[in-house]
A = this chain, B = another copy of it.
Amino acid sequence: MKISDRIEETLLKVLRRAKLDPAPPKLAAALNYSVFPGGARVRPQLALSVSIACGDDNPKLSNASAIAIELIHCASLIHDDLPCFDDASIRRGKPSLHKAFNEPIAVLAGDALIMMAFEILGISSDITPERLPTLIGILGRSGGMPFGICSGQGWESEPEINLSAYHQLKTGSLFVAATQMGAISAGEDPEPWEELGARIGEAFQVADDVRDALETSHQIGKPTGQDLAKNRPNAVNELGVAGAIEKLQDILSGAISSIPSCPGEADLCEIVRKQAALLTPINYKNHNI
């Protein structure tokens, strides 16, 4: 089965379970709305690609790890869009969750997706329970405090901020979780996979900053120019568009050469190369800068 089909099918399964009696219908609908249709599903694709490269001996657990990461990502988007943070009206080309439903439902949907991410890992660990402690530890670390998304987002409430620490926490941590959890799910040591996740995460953030600077809100399906408007750290503000694109290409070359030796190494290099091409589309390269 294709990687993308495995991801969508596993997401559908957990979202169907969340609708069972006695689920309140609005919250159940909101969970569905926030997860489908997805964005590029970059993080779960990366996790599952690493699992496959490592032999994928427990596909149920690999699928669970991949979607656990996506659910944490979706939860962070919902809460980031709330009026007290970005107050974003659109997300993935449609009204943000609190606009489509309401604010209480958006807070609860984020909470429920976080719980669901961990729960699916527990439910999927019957055959290989010895892999679960590290999976849970890494997911919690990458989402929470002091090393994860919450920590990064929390820096926005501080008077001074360190650009690279901020990006590493808010974006990088979940990419590191993706490669490491992909490896653990297939019974491999996570440590050699940290660098690949860190580099792709960094590339992704820089690409997002470039897109934020160059495209319109309509093109990317969410508000643009938010970082500049709110004086938030951003690679384009720091290096200019040309500098940011150069940095992006350096990071992606480093990512590919960091891939550890494994049965599916060649295929994984190809997948990362394709992701890299998606992150640096031709219109950025030719942009008048």
Closest Cβ neighbor of A22 among chain B residues: B165
By the criterion of a CB under 8 Å from any partner CB, how many residues of chain A are at the interface? 66
Report the Cα distance A141→B143, complex, angstroms: 19
Given A132-B125, A133-B129, A154 contacting B23 (CB threshold 8 A): yes
A46 interfacial contact with B, CB 8 Å? no
Contact A118 B133 (CB under 8 A): no
15 A-B residue pairs with CB within 8 Å: A18-B145, A18-B146, A22-B146, A22-B147, A22-B162, A102-B157, A108-B153, A108-B154, A111-B150, A112-B144, A115-B140, A116-B145, A118-B118, A129-B133, A132-B136
A73 interfacial contact with B, CB 8 Å? no
- In A94-109, the 8 Å CB interface with B consists of 102-105, 107-108
Among A25-33, A189-197, A213-221, A275-283, the one that faces the other chain is: A25-33
Chain B residues closer than 8 Å to A24, beta-carbon distance: 151, 154-155, 157-158
Report the Cα distance A196→B144, complex, angstroms: 32
Chain B residues closer than 8 Å to A169, beta-carbon distance: 22
Q: Majority SS of interface residues in chain A? A: helix
Chain B residues closer than 8 Å to A136, beta-carbon distance: 118-119, 121-122, 125, 132, 136
0/1 per residue, A26-47, Cβ < 8 Å to B?
A: 1110010000000000000000
Closest Cβ neighbor of A122 among chain B residues: B136
**Copy count, this protein chain:** 2
A126 interfacial contact with B, CB 8 Å? yes
Chain B residues closer than 8 Å to A150, beta-carbon distance: 27, 108, 111-112, 115
Contact A146 B108 (CB under 8 A): no
Report the Cα distance A157→B148, complex, angstroms: 31
Expressed in whole angstroms, the minimum distance between the Cβ of A81 and any Cβ of chain B is 11
Chain B residues closer than 8 Å to A126, beta-carbon distance: 133
